[in-house]
Chains A and B, each alone.
Chain A
Amino acid sequence: MNKRFIVKPELCTGCRSCELACSFTHAIDGVRSLTRINPIDGGFKDLWVPVTCLQCDDAACIKSCLVNALKRNPVTGAVELNHEVCVNCMACVAACPFGCAILDTQTNLIVKCDLCGGDPACAHFCPTKALVWELIKKAVKKTG
Chain B
Amino acid sequence: MIHITINGKVVQAKDGEMLLTVIRREQIDIPTLCHHEAVEPSGACRLCMVEITKPSWDGWCDYVTSCLYPAEDGLIVNTHAPKVNELRSSILDMFLARHPKSPEIRQLAAEYGVMKTQFEEVVDGDNCILCGICTRICDTMGFKAISMVGRGHGKEVAPPLNMAPAACVGCLSCAKNCPTNYIEYNMKNGGLTIWKKDFEMIACTECGATTITKEFAEYLSVNRDIPFDYFEKCDACHRKELAGTMGRIANWDREARS
Give A contacts to B, CB under 8 Å.
7-10, 38, 40-44, 47, 49, 51, 60, 63-64, 66-67, 69, 82, 84-91, 93-102
Contact = CB atoms under 8 A, between A and B. Distances in A.
B137 A87 contact: yes
Interface string B155-193: 000000000000000011100110000000000000000
Interface in B202-228: 202, 211-212, 216-217, 220, 224-226
Contacts of B37: 82, 84-85
Given A67-B140, A87-B173, A98-B238, A60 B230 contact: yes
Given A40-B239, A44-B250, A91-B171, 10 more contacts: A42-B246, A42-B251, A49-B243, A49-B250, A67-B137, A90-B172, A94-B212, A95-B231, A96-B230, A99-B238
Chain A CB within 10 Å — which of B36, B140, B220 has the most?
B220
Contact of A89 (B24, B172, B224, B235): B172
30 contacts: A7-B246, A8-B250, A10-B254, A38-B239, A40-B239, A40-B240, A41-B243, A42-B251, A43-B247, A44-B250, A47-B247, A51-B243, A51-B246, A60-B230, A63-B220, A63-B224, A66-B141, A84-B24, A87-B36, A87-B137, A87-B173, A89-B216, A91-B212, A94-B202, A95-B226, A96-B238, A98-B241, A99-B234, A99-B238, A100-B239
B38 A69 contact: yes
Given A91-B220, A94-B212, A95-B220, A10 B234 contact: no
B11 interface: no
Contact of A90 (B24, B39, B141, B211): B211
Q: Interface of chain B, helix or strand or loop or mixed?
A: helix
B242 A93 contact: no
Contacts of A98: 238-239, 241-242
Contacts of A94: 202, 211-212, 216-217, 220, 230-231, 235
Nearest to A12: B250
B135 to A, nearest CB: 13
Contacts of A63: 220, 224-226
B244 interface: yes
Contacts of A9: 246-247, 250
A85 B177 CA distance: 11
B247 A42 contact: yes
Contacts of B233: 99
B28 interface: no
A69 B137 CA distance: 13
A99 B232 CA distance: 11
B91 interface: no
Contacts of A42: 243-244, 246-248, 250-251
A44 B251 contact: yes
A96 B238 CA distance: 8
A101 B230 CA distance: 13
A66 B142 contact: yes
B247 A85 contact: no
A64 B251 contact: no
B38 A67 contact: yes
A47 B251 contact: yes
A28 B38 CA distance: 21
B237 interface: yes
Contacts of B235: 93-94, 96, 99-102
